[in-house]
C-alpha cells in the first residue's frame, strides 16, 4: 500500500516532439496550486519494484497476448519504460507483451495523474494507460470503477477515453475519441484530474472532455471517491480492437497486415514518466 494517499490527476499535454524524450529533474513542482507528490521518471535500469508489479495472470476481453516478466516484454532503459509486443507463442497465445500495475504499491485518491507516452501503430494493437479502484478484489469489476485515461487500438491519429462502473460498463456511454495534433507515434502527455464533483481528461495540456458526477449518476453509481491504482499495458487484439476493425482472422481483433507487421519485428509502447499531483 502507498505510504500516503495522494490526490491524483493525469495532465495531458501534446509535446509534438518525435525525438528523444525530455528529461525531467524529478523534483516536486508547484503549478497553479498543484504540488507534485510522486513520480516515476524511469531513469533506472529496471522496473522499480517499490512502484510496480509485473502482471502475467490477466486474460480478459479475448485478448491475444500472454503477459510475461521477461525483459523482452517489460524493461526500463534510456529513460523510458518499454512494453513490447512480440509474435511469440506462450501459454497457447500467439503473442507476448507486458503489463505493469501500481496496485498495493502506489494508490491515489483525487488529484492529477499524467504520463508522457509514445505509442506504436498497427491496427489491432491496444496500448493503454488507465486506473482501477483498489477494492476490485472485494467488489469486483465494474463496481470498483475503471478510469481509462488513454487507449489506442492501433490507429495513428486518435486515442479514446472512458469510464466504466456499475450500470455503465462495456460499451459505456461515457467515452470519447480525440485526435492529438500530431501522430500518436510521437510523444504526447495524457492526463486526468479527478475530484468528488467531476473528472477532466487532458491531451498535451488541453482539456478534451469532462464528465460530471451528475452525468455519471444518470447511468449508475459514481465509483471514484476511493484510492485507485495505475496500469500501463500493451494488449494485442481483443474485444475493443475487434469492435473497431472487425477482424476475426488471423487473430481476434488482429488483421493480417498487423500479424505480418509483428512477424517482421516487435512493437513497443514507451512511457517517459508518470506523475501524481495534488491540489494544496
Asked whether residue 69 is domain-assigned, the answer is: no
Q: What is the mean pLDDT of residues 182-207?
A: 98
Asked whether residue 230 is domain-assigned, the answer is: yes
Query: 21 versus 90: which is more confidently predicted?
Result: 90
Q: Provide the annotated active-site residues.
A: 146, 151
Q: What is the mean pLDDT of residues 150-157?
A: 98
Asked whether residue 251 is domain-assigned, the answer is: no
Asked whether residue 160 is domain-assigned, the answer is: yes
Q: The domain that contains 229 carries what CATH number?
A: 2.60.120.200
**Which residues touch 258 (CB under 8 Å, ≥6 apart)?**
122, 123, 124, 125, 154
The number of domains in the chain is 1
Asked whether residue 192 is domain-assigned, the answer is: yes
For residues 252 and 153, give the distance between their C-alpha atoms in angstroms, rounded to a whole number. Answer: 13
Lowest mean pLDDT among 28-42, 51-65, 106-120, 157-171: 28-42
Can you list the alpha helix ranges (DSSP code H) found in 78-209?
136-139
pLDDT at 33: 87
pLDDT band at 30 (very low <50, low <70, confident <90, very high): low
Q: By percentage, how much of the chain surpasses pLDDT 90?
A: 87
Please determine, for residue 18, whether its predicted confidence score (pLDDT) is greater than 80: no
Mean per-residue pLDDT over the chain, rounded: 91
- β-pair partners for 82: 75, 270
Please determine, for residue 20, whether its predicted confidence score (pLDDT) is greater than 80: no
Q: What is the pTM of this model?
A: 0.89
* Cα 129 → chain centroid: 1
pLDDT at 87: 98
Please determine, for residue 142, whether its predicted confidence score (pLDDT) is greater than 90: yes
**Rg, C-alpha atoms of the chain:** 17
Q: Which DSSP category does 144 fall into?
A: T
Q: How far is CA 139 from CA 10, 174, 185, in A?
A: 25, 21, 36
Asked whether residue 261 is domain-assigned, the answer is: no
pLDDT at 225: 97
Parent domain of 229: 31-47+102-234+271-279
Please determine, for residue 51, whether its predicted confidence score (pLDDT) is greater than 70: yes
For residues 104 and 119, give the distance between their C-alpha atoms in angstroms, rounded to a whole number. Answer: 27
For residues 191 and 36, give the distance between their C-alpha atoms in angstroms, rounded to a whole number. Answer: 14
| Count, residues in the chain | 280
Asked whether residue 76 is domain-assigned, the answer is: no
Amino acid at each position: 500500500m502507498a505510504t500516503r494517499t495522494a490526490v491524483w490527476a493525469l495532465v495531458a499535454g501534446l509535446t509534438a516532439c518525435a525525438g528523444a524524450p525530455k528529461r525531467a529533474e524529478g523534483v516536486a513542482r508547484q503549478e497553479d496550486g498543484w504540488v507534485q507528490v510522486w513520480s516515476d521518471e524511469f531513469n533506472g535500469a529496471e522496473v522499480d519494484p517499490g512502484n510496480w508489479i509485473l502482471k502475467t495472470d490477466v486474460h480478459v476481453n479475448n485478448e491475444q497476448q500472454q503477459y510475461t516478466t521477461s525483459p523482452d516484454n517489460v524493461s526500463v532503459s534510456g529513460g523510458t519504460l518499454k512494453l513490447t509486443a512480440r509474435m511469440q507463442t506462450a501459454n497457447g497465445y500467439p503473442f507476448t507483451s507486458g503489463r505493469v500495475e501500481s496496485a498495493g504499491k502506489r494508490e491515489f485518491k483525487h488529484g492529477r495523474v499524467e504520463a508522457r507516452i509514445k505509442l506504436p501503430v498497427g491496427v489491432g494493437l491496444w496500448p493503454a494507460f488507465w486506473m482501477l479502484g483498489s477494492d476490485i478484489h472485494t467488489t469486483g469489476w465494474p463496481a470498483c470503477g475503471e478510469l481509462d485515461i488513454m487507449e489506442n487500438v492501433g490507429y495513428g491519429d486518435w486515442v479514446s477515453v472512458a469510464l466504466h462502473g456499475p450500470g455503465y460498463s462495456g460499451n459505456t456511454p461515457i467515452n470519447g475519441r480525440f485526435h492529438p495534433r500530431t501522430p500518436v507515434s510521437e510523444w504526447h502527455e495524457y492526463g486526468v484530474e479527478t475530484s468528488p464533483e467531476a473528472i477532466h481528461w487532458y491531451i498535451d495540456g488541453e482539456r478534451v472532455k469532462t464528465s460530471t458526477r451528475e452525468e455519471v449518476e444518470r447511468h449508475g453509481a459514481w465509483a471514484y471517491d476511493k484510492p485507485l491504482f495505475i496500469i500501463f499495458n500493451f494488449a494485442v487484439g481483443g474485444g475493443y480492437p475487434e469492435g473497431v476493425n472487425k477482424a476475426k482472422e488471423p487473430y481476434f481483433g488482429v488483421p493480417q497486415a498487423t500479424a505480418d507487421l509483428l512477424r517482421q519485428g516487435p512493437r513497443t509502447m514507451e512511457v517517459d514518466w508518470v506523475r501524481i499531483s495534488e491540489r494544496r
